[in-house]
Amino acid sequence: MALYITSLNSGSNGNCYYVGNQHEAVLIDVGISCRETEKRMQRLGLSMQKVKAIFISHEHSDHIRGVAVLSKKYQLPVYITHATMQYGRLFLEQHLVRTFRGYEPVKAGNLTISAFPKFHDAAEPHSFVVSYNDINVGVFTDIGAPCQHLITHFKQCHAAFLETNYDEQMLAQGNYPYHLKRRITGGRGHLSNRQALDLFINHKPDFMSHVLLSHLSKDNNCPKLARNLFVEHAGVTQVHVASRYEESPVFMITNNNYAAIAVQNYQPLSPRAMQYSLF
């Protein structure tokens, strides 16, 4: 028994994460177009027919851009809070709208999805843990600062998408206006490499097999820099960077240590693409 995970895209240009077993799956956020979601899943050998639901973390456009079209086309229920629905100005088919609340698990087939609140400058932002057969996968992005909710759930995960949005020095010396730098670092923006690394070093469980560094800034971070910081402290945990340009490989997550990559019709990346995702 295993969970299969991939980042279909990760960054300010769009976020979409796939978590599923052999028979069913969910999408966490759909911040890329319906067509692009379909193309990337097809390249990975993943079927949209297995997707049972979409879960929305918050209303920012890079997390909801494609949800209305994808939900309508495949008649997928969308789990979303009332405030996220309101502030995102989403026009979803009413019979497909489902609400959720933090710490009230939702079942999608044999998958269990648990939400918990996080610090972010949105109306009602949540992170998610997807569980199956005692395997837990966390989606932890768009977080202004680590809180006890995050620490508690991170300790339980066999794999995690973990935000490493910016390098503090690169952001400080970069060209972003002051107000935007304040937003990013102000406790309700994004996690820095250092903040995420502190969480990883101090709270990573011994059984965590994979961490996918996620939502990296194009201007204020470097994939190689972020990965190198984590590899030094990773032990047996595999460290990968979720690309803002293309899908990641599909990884198989088990409740045993040392899980291996699951190659499901995965096509080799072009040389240019390899530079982005593998540095």
pTM: 0.92
Give dist(CA 179, CA 119) in Å, integer: 18
**Residue 7 included in any domain:** yes
Looking at the DSSP bridge assignments, the partners of residue 251 are 5, 261
In the chain, the amino acid numbered 256 is: N
Characterize 22-55 residue by residue with b for buried, 16 or more Cβ atoms within 10 angstroms of its Cβ, and e for exposed.
eebbbbbbbbbebebbbebbeebebebebbbbbb
Question: How high is the pLDDT of residue 119?
Answer: 96
pLDDT at 1: 87
pLDDT in tens, 177-186: 999 999 999 9
Residue tagged 């730098």 (tokens):
181
- pLDDT value for 179: 96
pLDDT at position 269 is: 37
- Inside any domain, residue 275: no
Ranges of residues in the chain with a pLDDT under 50 are 258-279
- Residue 109 inside a domain? The answer is yes
For position 238, what pLDDT does the model report? 98
Cα(196)–Cα(61) distance, integer angstroms: 23
Domain assignment present for 134? yes
pLDDT for the residue numbered 256: 79
CATH number, residue 233: 3.60.15.10
Q: Does residue 279 belong to any structural domain of this protein?
A: no
pLDDT score at 257: 55
- Whether residue 48 lies inside any domain: the answer is yes
Domain with 82 in it? 3-270
The tally of domains found in the chain comes to: 1
Residue at 277 is within a domain: no
Do the domain assignments include residue 276? no
